[in-house]
Amino acid sequence: QCLNSVCFFFPRQIQNTHTGLDLSVPEYQEIHGKMMSGHVEYHIIVVTRLAAFKSAKHKPEDVVQFMVSKKYSEIEELYHRLTARYPQASLPLLPRKVLFVGESDICERRAMFNDIMKSISKDEDLATSPELLEFLGTKSSSAIDFKGKNMPDDREKEDEENEALDFFKEEKTPDLISQLLSVQNVKKEEKEEEEEEEEEILDPLGIIRY
């Protein structure tokens, strides 16, 4: 049994050898919410040898399989994005929208989604499109850039460390000066207070004039 977003290894062959991707929608699941709310999720099985769906541990010849669950609205969005960007692609019709969905409607939608996904996986442009990769949960186009940005070399690390050290050095200097000034001010205030106290003791009646 397939679990969402978990890959399994299978010795089976890819049917669409020219695209390296097989898509199918064999089943669906009704998700019941509170009261009368709920929705239907369609299980899309992905079988592929495309590098975009593999980790560094996988071999080029490895075939991985996983499942993603999508609602009607999500599949509809993908459908419109693909037909808009690839008008030359000939995809089966999208299931019609209805206000109240019955069991027969859900079964019909699953069958139509299955035909759509199979058609997408057979088309070389659609099978490797960023829209589909994003829909299936991978970010292949940004994964390399993201990794590159988050894996700085030793020189960049040293620069960052030096900048951090310089930052703290710059912070310490004004702190020391301000501390010295504050100490001097405190001493000055204490000295003035002592002189005032001495004047009061020497001339408690305020007779002495200056």
Instruction: Write out pLDDT tens, residues 76-126.
Output: 999 999 999 999 999 999 998 888 888 999 999 999 999 999 999 999 999
Residues 6+ apart with CB under 8 A from 162: none
**HEC secondary structure over 52-91:** HHCCCCCCCCCCEEEEEEEEHHHHHHHHHHHHHHCCCCCC
Amino acid at 121: S
DSSP one-letter code for 4: B
Q: How far is CA 163 from CA 6, 153, 154, in A?
A: 42, 16, 14
Question: Which residue(s) pair with 66 in the sheet?
Answer: 46
Structure token pair of residue 8: 């399994």
Residues 6+ apart with CB under 8 A from 68: 4, 5, 43, 44, 46, 135, 136, 137
Within 13 Å, how many C-alpha atoms sit on residue 108's CB side? 11
What is the tens place of the pLDDT at every residue in 31-55?
A: 988 877 789 999 999 999 999 998 8
* CB-CB contact of 113 with 106 (8 Å): no
In this predicted structure, what is the pLDDT of residue 177?
56
Asked if pLDDT for residue 142 goes beyond 80, the answer is no
Asked if pLDDT for residue 175 goes beyond 80, the answer is no
Residues 6+ apart with CB under 8 A from 13: 63
Asked if pLDDT for residue 203 goes beyond 70, the answer is no
The whole-angstrom separation of Cα 169 and Cα 11 is 60
